[in-house]
Protein backbone atom coordinates (compact mmCIF):
# COMPACT_ATOMS: atom_id res chain seq x y z
CA UNK A 1 0.00 0.00 0.00
CA UNK A 2 1.26 3.48 -0.83
CA UNK A 3 1.50 6.29 1.64
CA UNK A 4 -1.61 8.54 1.72
CA UNK A 5 -1.37 12.21 1.00
CA UNK A 6 -3.54 14.47 3.11
CA UNK A 7 -5.33 17.67 2.20
CA UNK A 8 -4.83 20.73 4.33
CA UNK A 9 -7.86 22.87 5.07
CA UNK A 10 -6.18 25.75 3.26
CA UNK A 11 -5.79 23.65 0.10
CA UNK A 12 -9.42 22.57 0.17
CA UNK A 13 -10.66 26.11 0.73
CA UNK A 14 -8.45 27.33 -2.11
CA UNK A 15 -10.14 24.89 -4.53
CA UNK A 16 -13.33 26.95 -4.32
CA UNK A 17 -11.44 29.92 -5.81
CA UNK A 18 -9.36 28.02 -8.37
CA UNK A 19 -10.44 27.61 -11.97
CA UNK A 20 -9.75 24.04 -13.01
CA UNK A 21 -9.62 22.82 -16.59
CA UNK A 22 -10.38 19.52 -18.20
CA UNK A 23 -11.22 18.11 -21.60
CA UNK A 24 -13.59 15.67 -23.23
CA UNK A 25 -12.71 13.71 -26.35
CA UNK A 26 -15.47 13.20 -28.89
CA UNK A 27 -15.15 11.82 -32.43
CA UNK A 28 -11.40 12.36 -32.56
CA UNK A 29 -11.47 15.97 -31.34
CA UNK A 30 -11.16 17.50 -27.88
CA UNK A 31 -13.40 20.01 -26.11
CA UNK A 32 -11.58 22.00 -23.42
CA UNK A 33 -13.69 23.42 -20.60
CA UNK A 34 -13.29 24.94 -17.17
CA UNK A 35 -15.06 24.60 -13.84
CA UNK A 36 -14.67 25.57 -10.22
CA UNK A 37 -15.61 23.79 -7.00
CA UNK A 38 -18.61 25.22 -5.17
CA UNK A 39 -19.03 26.13 -1.54
CA UNK A 40 -22.22 24.95 0.16
CA UNK A 41 -23.73 28.42 -0.24
CA UNK A 42 -23.10 28.29 -3.99
CA UNK A 43 -24.73 24.91 -4.49
CA UNK A 44 -27.91 25.24 -6.55
CA UNK A 45 -31.22 24.92 -4.76
CA UNK A 46 -32.78 21.55 -5.45
CA UNK A 47 -36.30 20.26 -5.58
CA UNK A 48 -36.51 16.62 -4.65
CA UNK A 49 -38.92 14.42 -6.59
CA UNK A 50 -42.22 13.73 -4.78
CA UNK A 51 -42.41 10.56 -2.71
CA UNK A 52 -44.98 9.09 -5.11
CA UNK A 53 -42.80 9.68 -8.21
CA UNK A 54 -42.13 6.80 -10.55
CA UNK A 55 -38.59 5.52 -10.96
CA UNK A 56 -38.43 7.27 -14.32
CA UNK A 57 -39.54 10.58 -12.78
CA UNK A 58 -37.00 10.20 -9.97
CA UNK A 59 -34.19 9.50 -12.45
CA UNK A 60 -35.16 12.55 -14.52
CA UNK A 61 -35.25 14.75 -11.41
CA UNK A 62 -31.82 13.57 -10.21
CA UNK A 63 -30.38 14.04 -13.70
CA UNK A 64 -31.67 17.62 -13.72
CA UNK A 65 -30.18 18.23 -10.25
CA UNK A 66 -26.78 16.87 -11.34
CA UNK A 67 -26.70 18.83 -14.58
CA UNK A 68 -27.62 22.05 -12.79
CA UNK A 69 -24.76 21.51 -10.33
CA UNK A 70 -22.28 20.95 -13.18
CA UNK A 71 -23.53 24.10 -14.92
CA UNK A 72 -23.13 26.13 -11.72
CA UNK A 73 -19.53 24.90 -11.45
CA UNK A 74 -18.87 25.86 -15.08
CA UNK A 75 -20.56 29.25 -14.75
CA UNK A 76 -18.52 30.08 -11.64
CA UNK A 77 -15.29 29.36 -13.53
CA UNK A 78 -16.54 31.32 -16.56
CA UNK A 79 -17.14 34.38 -14.36
CA UNK A 80 -13.66 34.05 -12.86
CA UNK A 81 -11.97 33.44 -16.24
CA UNK A 82 -14.22 34.75 -19.08
CA UNK A 83 -11.56 34.26 -21.76
CA UNK A 84 -11.46 30.51 -21.02
CA UNK A 85 -15.21 29.99 -21.34
CA UNK A 86 -16.35 27.42 -23.89
CA UNK A 87 -19.41 25.74 -22.40
CA UNK A 88 -22.22 27.74 -20.81
CA UNK A 89 -25.89 27.42 -19.91
CA UNK A 90 -26.94 28.79 -23.33
CA UNK A 91 -25.14 26.09 -25.34
CA UNK A 92 -25.44 23.18 -22.85
CA UNK A 93 -28.79 21.93 -24.17
CA UNK A 94 -27.48 22.03 -27.75
CA UNK A 95 -24.42 19.85 -27.06
CA UNK A 96 -24.58 16.15 -27.95
CA UNK A 97 -25.61 14.16 -24.88
CA UNK A 98 -22.39 12.13 -25.14
CA UNK A 99 -20.36 15.30 -24.63
CA UNK A 100 -22.55 16.44 -21.71
CA UNK A 101 -22.18 12.99 -20.13
CA UNK A 102 -18.39 12.99 -20.59
CA UNK A 103 -18.08 16.52 -19.27
CA UNK A 104 -20.15 15.67 -16.18
CA UNK A 105 -18.14 12.53 -15.53
CA UNK A 106 -14.88 14.46 -15.92
CA UNK A 107 -15.95 17.06 -13.34
CA UNK A 108 -17.32 14.54 -10.86
CA UNK A 109 -14.49 12.01 -11.14
CA UNK A 110 -11.35 12.42 -9.08
CA UNK A 111 -8.07 11.10 -10.54
CA UNK A 112 -9.82 8.57 -12.75
CA UNK A 113 -11.63 7.00 -9.79
CA UNK A 114 -15.45 7.09 -9.90
CA UNK A 115 -15.62 7.44 -6.12
CA UNK A 116 -15.58 10.99 -4.76
CA UNK A 117 -14.92 9.90 -1.19
CA UNK A 118 -13.25 6.83 0.25
CA UNK A 119 -13.14 5.46 3.76
CA UNK A 120 -9.61 5.57 5.12
CA UNK A 121 -8.58 2.36 6.86
CA UNK A 122 -7.66 2.80 10.50
Could you please report the per-residue DSSP string of the chain? -PPPP---HHHHHHHTT--EEEEEEETTEEEEEEE-PPPGGGSPP--PPPTT--HHHHHHHHHHHHHHHHHHHHHHHHHH-GGG----HHHHTTS-HHHHHHHHHHHH-BTTBS-S--PPP-
Classify residue 116: in a domain, yes or no.
no
pLDDT of 1 strictly over 80: no
Domain that holds residue 87: 9-108
For residue range 78-103, list pLDDT tens digits in order.
Answer: 999 999 999 999 999 999 999 999 99
For residue range 24-46, list pLDDT tens digits in order.
Answer: 999 999 999 999 999 999 999 88
Classify residue 118: in a domain, yes or no.
no
53/59 Cα distance (integer angstroms) = 10
pLDDT of 115 strictly over 60: no
User: How many domains does the chain contain in total?
Assistant: 1
Classify residue 14: in a domain, yes or no.
yes
28 Rama class: left (phi>0) / alpha (psi -120 to 50) / beta: left
Amino acid sequence: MTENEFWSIEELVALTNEVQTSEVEYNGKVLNFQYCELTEGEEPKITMPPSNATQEEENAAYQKIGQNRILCMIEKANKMNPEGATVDRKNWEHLPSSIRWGLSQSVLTISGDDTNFRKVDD
